Structures are given as structure tokens and as C-alpha cells.
Structure 1
Amino acid sequence: MLSKFKRNKHQQHLAQLPKLSQSVDDIEFFYAPADFRQALLARIAQATQRICIIALYLEQDDGGKGILQALYDAKRQRPELDVQVLVDWHRAQRGRIGVAASNTNADWYCRMAQENPGVDIPVYGVPVNTREALGVLHFKGFIIDDSVLYSGASLNDVYLHQHDKYRYDRYQCIRNGKMADVMFDWVENNLVQGRGVNRLDRADRPKSPEIKNDIRQYRQELRDSSYHFIGNADDDQLSVTPLVGLGKTSLLNKTIFHLMPCAEHKLTICTPYFNLPALLVRNIIQPAA
């Protein structure tokens, strides 16, 4: 166990974070990929104001097609809906590993746009690095009206448990209008309008080498960006703090660093690959002081 002095230092960081008041009745957990798929489709169908889908990829398979078709159906039925999709720029323009880059996801987005004239659903490609191997889009959260459906899942057959195989992730639906606004505004200002971000549903999109310099500058801009909001909750009530960050020194990583030593009884880490930064590894293995 940490000394009281060291624990207080970490707790002070957490206490200083702005917090948004959260009702316990407005938090819902899902425990299976199929439940997540059904919840996402239901919320898309019921949306009245906005739908912002952010994922590493939206795949051209049965699972992905079901999501994109649901978005087009919702927009067609309610033209006033603000609907947008954001995926990783590089991942969308290649085939699956070992498969030639023909009929890519980006090509599919273009066909869907052509097949649905008058129903505009922009699909933005976000390039967080100059090559896919150097880093991809890992923003978490599907923003629908005043709710955030939080998950690290991408949108394809396996993540959505469309057929036999499935891949598990975490799934939470948090209804919080203030948090949804904060996240939506950040996405609009830093992703949709970001330098180097281009629409994938258009055939005249640039080639990656043509925007390499923009991508480098954009990555630095993302390193310097964070959520900006005024908290409305104190330490004695249930609250939520949205965090975003790119790079080792981001507020997101700093908060994880301070959060881990504050655990008193149990620390559960969910990750598909255990490649934590060295600083966090030391948090786990260093002897208590």
C-alpha cells in the first residue's frame, strides 16, 4: 500500500478534474456483443437530433452494412438529423491483411452515397499518423442525441456478433446531455474540421502522400487538444469526467497514471494487448512505499 502522502498526491490530481453530475439511473451496461449491436441499432432508429458514429472502421460486411443502412434509413426518415461517421483514414482504404486493396471500405462508402442521392451522410477519414502502422483512430464513443454509447468496438461481423464468431469489448450507455455536448463539440472542432481530415465517401479524395505534411501538423494539433468544460459536480456525488488525449504526456495518460495507485482493493485492466507505457508498468510492479 502507498504511503498516505503519496496516495494524497494522486488523489489530488483526480479531485482537481472537472466533473459532470451523473444520475445512476442513466447508466446502462451491456454484457454481450449482440446486445450492443441491438442497442446501437435501436438508438439509431430512435434518434431525433444527432448521430455521430466514431470507430476504427466500419466494415463492408453484414454487420457493417446493417449499421450504415440503418443510418441512411434514419436520415431519410428524418432529414433534419445531423448524421456523420468518422473512421480511420488509412484503415478504410486498404483491404484486409493479405488481400489486394480493391473494393475497399472507402469504395463502399462512395457507392452508398451514389445509391442514396439526396441523403447526405458524410464519412470522414481521420489520419492520426502518416501510416497505419504508426497509429490509428481509437476514439471511444457513439454520440446519439444526449447519450454516449461507450465502447472500443469497431463495426463489423465479429465485433457485432452478426454470425457465429464474436469479439468481446466493453459496452456502456451513459445518458448525459452535457457530456454528449462536450464530446460532440470536440469531435466537430478537432476531427471533422481537422487538418488532413477528408471525406471517404467521395471519389475525389486525396492520396495519403499528398496530405503527409498536413497529417504531421494535425497530429501535433491533436496532442495539444483536450475537452474544455466547466464541472457541475463535487467529490461527494456520482459524476463522470470525459477524457481525450494523444501521446504519453496527455491528460488521459496522466489521469490513468494517478488513478492506478488510488486503487485500494482491486485493479482490473481490460486490454486486447498488454503493451502499457513503461510509466504505468512501474505503477503496477513497483513495491509499495
Structure 2
Amino acid sequence: MKLPSIGIEQQDVDVLLSPTAYKEIFLDHIKQAKTRIYITALYLQDDEAGREILTALYRAKVQTPTLDISIFVDAHRAQRGLIGQKTQLGNRAMYAEFAQKHQVNINFYGIAVKPKELLGVLHLKGIVIDDMLLYSGASINNVYLHQHNNYRLDRYYLIRSTALAKCFCQYLVINFIESGVAIRLTDTIPITKKQKKIQSKKTRAIVKRADYQFAEVNKTSAIQITPFAGCGSRRNQLNHQVCQLIKDSTESIVLFTPYFNLPRAVTKQLTLALKRGVKITVIVGDKTASDFYIADPERFSLIGIIPYIYEQILRKFLKRWQKFVNSGQLVFKLWQDEGNSYHLKGLVVDETKHLLTGSNLNPRAWGLDLENGLLLQDPTQQLLAGFQQELASICQHTRDITSYKQIDSQRDYPLKPRKLLARLSMSKVDRLLKRFL
């Protein structure tokens, strides 16, 4: 089945290789913006990087008063700090502070996809500046933008397309603003639980049937792009496309995921692909490269068990399919770079189909969060050189895993994680956790 698409050329796509380059491009395009800036992210954090971006946005608005600037973040995350920083009032306080300080207006919208953060969040990604889309799985804070010593690596693509930029903005306007479900975050009065519950019910009904609307243009272009959005396990276009890409693969698959906890449907399709001879390369973060990893044993808490659960899932998968690892058909690369973290997602199939997405390709993304993605179909492989450069940059910090025995078993873990894993396993809570991770 041929997908509706928007055509672009090779020169319309730039692949950025680092969070530093991503931040520089982001700030540079803000300075040059003439008509609109629409930012969608899980959160825009109250820290140095977040404040630098907001300062640049207000400066651009003062310079060009007609500039339409709207920021869409998850409503739950907007009202709390990072994990372990309970004293924070939340990012909403920063938005209100900036709004009160400046004479120009920037729209800050909170989207409550579910009544509670645990049950699902706004996980859409994409920054539209004029007719350019800057797409990455990254949110906006110090570590994602490499503000200080540490960084969280993601994938970063800049795509120039008027039609694509327009349809991303229309999705936000129609489904969140015109529908009335977007919550204004510059009010100093906190969003009540009742308000979030009412808004999330409306939002959930909208996003389950919403998709990107666009007119097909440039059908003869070398590269064709189709955007997808999805929320929930049923009738989810993005989830369906992930499975379809793997199902249609004939030669090779490269899969990026920060957390190895694949949905059953994905595992099934990967298994079938292996059995029909497709070479599969999985690039995943080491447990120490997880944003949930707690290095200090004295500070270890419940949230810190997550990387260990992921690692045991990975070990079991490798053990089951060791024969494909031995033959070289299944390649696992583990990413680790000192104290930095890994947040890459997406698929590359047969070196001609590239799926860029913010989805972590895990059960939570599959069934709870609102996600989006871009499929770039490139039958003449014009994007291949850029992707190979990206891959080489990523693989500078990976090591090949040739046996499941190279992955730590539970008995290799420090005392606190080992004891907690044992308790979770005995109570079968670990099965429940895997659905929400």
C-alpha cells in the first residue's frame, strides 16, 4: 500500500551529530525566525538551558512582534521538577515568571493526555521554525542540550519543507488549541487535579483519532516523507508502521532504543525477520547510560531499579537468540560514554526507509503515551551517506556484545538492586512495571 507523502530533495535534510550542534542550530533559527515558532516537547526545563532558550524566544518576539510563538509540553511534567527534586515548584513557575517580565506574548500550553503522568504523557516531538522542522527525541534542558559537562545523546534531523512544517502546526492548532483542551501554563494558579482530569478525558478522545493532515506535494521528489501520530495500543498508526517496516524488511534493520523492553508485537516481527535471513543491528544504551541509573549506592532508590530490569530483559533476549548472534546475523551494540546518557530511537530498514521518532519502542510508548514519528522513504539511497556518518558517530562509543554472558546477571549487581529485584520478582510486580517502563 502506497502511503500519502510529502516530497523533498536530499539538500532539504541535514543530519546533526551532537547535542551541541543541535542547540546551535536551534538558537540560530530562533534568531532568524520571521513567521512562527512551534515547539513540542515533553518538557522545557527550568534550568540554564531552558532559560537560555526562553530568553532567545522572547528576544525574537520583541524583534518581530508578529512572530507566532507557541510552546506545547506535557501538563503533568510542567507542574513538577525532575525526579529527586521535589522542592521545585515546576517549570510552570518559570513560564509565568518570563510572561510577567516581558511585554510581549508567548503561548505556553500544557497538554494532559491522561489524568496521571504514570498513565501516559504528551510525548510528541518536533520544533517548527518558519518552514523548517527540527526533529529529535530530545526535550529541552541542560543535559539534552549539553549545557555543562554531561549530555544525553539523541538523533537530530533538520528538514526543510513548507508542507511538513504546516501540517505539524495544524495538528497542534486543530487538536489542542481550537478544541479547547490546551491548558494555559502562564497562569500563577496551579492546575487542579479536577481540571487535568476533565481536560485529559477530552484530549484522549481527540488524539486517539487525530492524525496529520496534508496535501501531497512533490510526488516526483527523490525522498518522500509521511508523518504519523498515535496514542494507545489500538488503531495506532505509528505502532502499525513500526511493525510494517520490520515485516517488509528483506536485507537489514538497524534499531535504536534507549531502553530494551520491546513490545511483544515488535519482538515477534524481529524474530520472524531473523528467521527469514534479515540482518538486525540493535543499538541500545548500557544500563549506566540510562537517565534512571543511580551510580551512588548510598542514593539508590526504587526508580534506580529500572536500568537493571531493562538489562535483564536484554540478557534473556540474547540468550534465547544466541545462535543468530554467533552467526553474525544479530548484532547488539551497547552504548556507553563515561557519565553521559543515551536516548536514541528509530529504525532504518534496508537502507532505504528511515523512521525518526520520539517513541522509545517500549510498552509505555506503545500503549500509553501520545507519540509521533516521520517515515522517510529513500529508494535511491540519497540519505544513506548522512545516515552512515550518523551511525559512525554513534558507534564511537559502542561495544559489540557477542554473548549473553557479557551482560551482568542479577548476582553481579550491588546488594540493593539485587535484593530489590528479588523482592519484585517474588511479588510479580516486575511484570506490572514492564508495562509502564
- The answer to whether the superposition gives a TM-score over 0.5 is yes
Task: Provide closer, same or farther for how the CA distance between residues 67 and 137 of structure 1 changes in structure 2, counting only shifts above 3 A.
Answer: same
* Matching residue of 2:117: 132
Contact kept, 8 Å, 1:199 with 1:205, in 2: the verdict is no
* Matching residue of 2:215: 230
TM-score (norm 1): 0.90
- Alpha-carbon RMSD: 1.7
Alignment of 1:163-174 (within 5 A): 163-174=148-159
Give 3-state SS (helix, strand or coil) of 2:109's partner: strand
Give 3-state SS (helix, strand or coil) of 2:15's partner: strand
* Matching residue of 1:3: none
* Matching residue of 2:42: 56
Residue 229 (structure 2) pairs with residue 244 (structure 1): yes
Task: Provide closer, same or farther for how the CA distance between residues 236 and 198 of structure 1 changes in structure 2, counting only shifts above 3 A.
Answer: closer
Contact kept, 8 Å, 1:60 with 1:105, in 2: the verdict is yes
Query: Cα distance, 1:100 vs. partner?
Result: 2.5
Contact kept, 8 Å, 1:198 with 1:205, in 2: the verdict is no
Contact kept, 8 Å, 1:26 with 1:175, in 2: the verdict is yes
Q: Structure 2: state its 5+ residue gaps.
A: 278-437
Contact kept, 8 Å, 2:9 with 2:221, in 1: the verdict is no
Residue 93 (structure 2) pairs with residue 107 (structure 1): yes
Alignment of 1:87-236 (within 5 A): 87-116=73-102, 118-204=103-189, 206-234=191-219
Greater RCO, CA 8 A, separation 6+ = 1
Contact kept, 8 Å, 2:74 with 2:122, in 1: the verdict is yes
Which amino acid is 2:276 matched to? A
Query: Cα distance, 1:124 vs. partner?
Result: 0.4
Match of 1:288 among 276, 280, 303: 276
Contact kept, 8 Å, 2:73 with 2:109, in 1: the verdict is yes
Query: Cα distance, 1:140 vs. partner?
Result: 1.6
- Structure 1 residue ranges, 4+ long, deviating more than 6 angstroms after superposition: none
Contact kept, 8 Å, 2:30 with 2:129, in 1: the verdict is yes
How far apart are the structure 2 equivalents of 1:236 and 1:62? 41
Contact kept, 8 Å, 2:112 with 2:199, in 1: the verdict is no
How far apart are the structure 1 equivalents of 2:105 and 2:205? 31
Deviates further, 157-166 or 220-229: 220-229
**Structure richer in strand, relative to its length:** 2
Which amino acid is 2:107 matched to? P
Match of 1:279 among 265, 271, 293: 265
How far apart are the structure 1 equivalents of 2:145 and 2:251? 33
TM-score (norm 2): 0.60
How far apart are the structure 2 equivalents of 1:62 and 1:214? 31
Match of 2:248 among 257, 262, 271: 262
How far apart are the structure 1 equivalents of 2:202 and 2:208? 10
Tell me the number of residue pairs that the alignment of Structure 1 and Structure 2 aligns: 274
Which amino acid is 1:288 matched to? R
CA deviation profile, 1:239-269 (whole Å, cap 9, x unmatched): 1111111122211111111111222322112
Which amino acid is 1:133 matched to? L
CA deviation profile, 1:33-70 (whole Å, cap 9, x unmatched): 00000000000010000001111111111111111110
Q: State, as a whole percentage, how many aligned pairs show the same letter.
A: 36
Which amino acid is 2:113 matched to? V
CA deviation profile, 1:157-192 (whole Å, cap 9, x unmatched): 000001100000000000000111111111111123
Deviates further, 57-66 or 201-210: 201-210
How far apart are the structure 2 equivalents of 1:21 and 1:129? 35
* Matching residue of 2:382: none
How far apart are the structure 1 equivalents of 2:254 and 2:177? 34
Which amino acid is 1:212 matched to? K
Query: Cα distance, 1:223 vs. partner?
Result: 0.5
* Matching residue of 1:18: 4
* Matching residue of 2:14: 28
Question: Which protein shows a greater Rg?
Answer: 2
Q: Structure 1: state its 5+ residue gaps.
A: 1-11
How far apart are the structure 1 equivalents of 2:238 and 2:180? 22
How far apart are the structure 2 equivalents of 1:21 and 1:45? 27
